[in-house]
Amino acid sequence: MTTFESISRPTDEEAWLATMAPPLAAPARHEFDFDVAIVGLGYVGLPTALAYHASHSRVLALDVSARRIDTIRAQGADLLDSDRLRLAEALDRPDFVLTSDPEQLRRAAAVIVCVPTPIDEHLVPDLSILRAACTTILSTVTPGQTLMLTSTTYVGCTDDLLVKPLTEMGLSVGNDVFVAFSAERIDPGNASFGHDEVPRVVGGATPQCEEEATRLLLRYVTTVHRVRSLAAAEMTKLLENTFRAVNIALANEFADICSSLDIDVADVIDAASTKPYGFMPFLPGPGVGGHCIPCDPHYLLWQLKRSRVAAPMITQAMTEISARPHRVVDRVQTVLSQQGRGMTGARVLVVGIAYKPDVEDLRESPALEILDELIRRGARVGYLDAHFDSVALAGGSSLAGIVDPVAFDADLVLLHTRHRDTDLSWIDDRQIVLDTTYRGVDVAHRVNL
């Protein structure tokens, strides 16, 4: 079996196991109580843990935050409906254990790291959480375990944080312990693709590491695509999200071009999407949020800067993406001015502040920057989003959500994120509506960004 092909899991478990190569050597195998441990129970880790459990694996689910563990036990985590059902079932089962004790990792045959890898205010990768997680699993590593990173990072990170330290500890990677990288592919709030349906890409530190990692992934996914190295797997994730970033920047630019020519950009994108090949729709908006697109390309740019390798297209795309929230505020000021209003004292209501519809997720949301800058320019600002009672803004200040949009009496309504249950019937003809979603067609008197 080559090391760069896609493998699907047969329905016959014994037939599947027969396709996998036997271990190259026979390390001292430990009797493990759990098939897999998941480290980090956020938007990636918790659904991953539930997917493994639903596929009949014994799961140890670990998060260092006792508060997060309590939230999960109380079934208060933000999950798809299907995952809520899985969680309710798992909590009643002895083969699904929630813990904040890292020592329990010794009991798992495999350990999968699903922790955040953000960037700091200088757009420099912040690897502190990932380093801490890797330090923890190194301190509890047990012969026979498979260790897998899923967090997006720079090329070579798995080697730096796991392979080299394990070797220095006297363990033979590929014999005593197995190391792999397989980036997560979970889209929060999107129920269109089941966790088990999305192919996973995996690379191992050695051929045997690749075999063990493939076995691990095929416990719950139907297809695994194997690449020839850890580095290739790490770079695959960077390409996926950089591709999205560049195309979103292009969509935003087309939105501005169409606006200048008095063309509805959504109409144009819908029309172009009818082509069955050579085109993939990307939608313009007020900016880009979430963990992936605003952050991941900067891991690549940071690494390339160290190597003095230029990436002008990626650099420009990320510059344009970061500037988009400022463009929104500039547009608010222009629209108000066209109506004979200044920014100072104008009442601006932002509808929806999550980074995408139907998630309780503020990570990197453009709305936070938009709210902060509107306030800085003198506007009287409120927001309407049932997912958040209040939000923290720059400088430590906070802003409470609006309960009654009619009472707020906005001069301008800014459509930022439209959740499924968003009701806009309260908007009256006196109010200016600036639509940064480009999809608010039910609001007759809206203007696009």
pLDDT tens for the chain, 449 residues long, are: 344 467 776 555 444 444 454 443 444 456 899 999 999 999 999 999 999 999 999 999 999 999 999 999 999 998 999 999 999 999 999 999 999 999 999 999 999 999 999 988 888 999 999 999 999 999 999 999 999 999 999 999 999 999 999 999 999 999 999 999 999 998 888 888 888 899 999 999 999 999 999 999 999 999 999 999 999 999 999 999 999 999 999 999 999 999 999 999 999 999 999 999 999 999 999 999 887 888 999 999 999 998 899 999 999 999 999 999 999 999 999 999 998 999 999 999 999 999 999 888 898 899 999 999 999 999 999 999 999 999 998 777 899 999 999 999 999 999 999 998 888 999 988 889 999 999 887 787 788 87
Q: Report residue 14: phi and psi, to 5°.
A: -70, -35
Q: Report residue 165: phi and psi, to 5°.
A: -60, -40
Measured over all CA atoms, what is the biggest interatomic distance in the chain, rounded to whole angstroms?
Answer: 79
- Token output for 272: 């172009």
The pLDDT value recorded for residue 268 is: 96
The pLDDT value recorded for residue 18 is: 47
Residue environment code for 85-112, b if the CB has 16+ CB neighbours within 10 A, otherwise e: ebbeebeeeeebbbbeebebbbbbbbbb
Residue with tokens 């800058």: 373
Can you tell me the distance from the alpha carbon of 249 to that of 252, in angstroms, rounded to the nearest whole number?
Answer: 5
Helices (H) and strands (E) in the chain, counts: 14, 16
Which of 381, 400, 404 is closest to 389 using CA atoms? Answer: 400
Are 179 and 173 spatial neighbours (Cβ–Cβ below 8 Å)?
yes
Can you tell me the distance from the alpha carbon of 289 to that of 255, in angstroms, rounded to the nearest whole number?
Answer: 18
Could you give the count of Cα atoms lying within 13 Å of 305 in the half-sphere of its Cβ? 11
**Given 134, 157, 258, 292, which residue is catalytic?**
292
Helix (H) or strand (E) holding 15: helix 13-19
114 counts as catalytic? no
Are 122 and 85 spatial neighbours (Cβ–Cβ below 8 Å)?
no
Which of 40, 220, 187, 24 is closest to 115 using CA atoms? Answer: 40
Burial class of residue 319, CB neighbours in 10 A (0-12, 13-18, 19+): exposed
Between strands 223-226 and 6-8, the pairing is antiparallel
One-letter amino acid at 20 equals: M
Could you give the count of Cα atoms lying within 13 Å of 137 in the half-sphere of its Cβ? 35
One-letter amino acid at 142 equals: T
Between strands 412-415 and 432-435, the pairing is parallel
pTM: 0.88
Helix (H) or strand (E) holding 398: strand 398-400
From the CA atom positions of the chain, what is the Rg in Å? 24
Q: In Å, how far are 252, 266, 392, 407, 410 from 279, measured between CA atoms?
A: 16, 15, 39, 45, 39
The pLDDT value recorded for residue 391 is: 93
| Degrees to nearest 5, angle at CA 395 with 433 and 359 | 50
Can you tell me the distance from the alpha carbon of 254 to that of 155, in angstroms, rounded to the nearest whole number?
Answer: 32
Task: Give the rounded distance of the alpha carbon of 32 from its chain centre.
Answer: 31
The pLDDT value recorded for residue 12 is: 53
Residue environment code for 399-434, b if the CB has 16+ CB neighbours within 10 A, otherwise e: bebbeebeebebbbbbbbbbbeebebeebeeebbbb
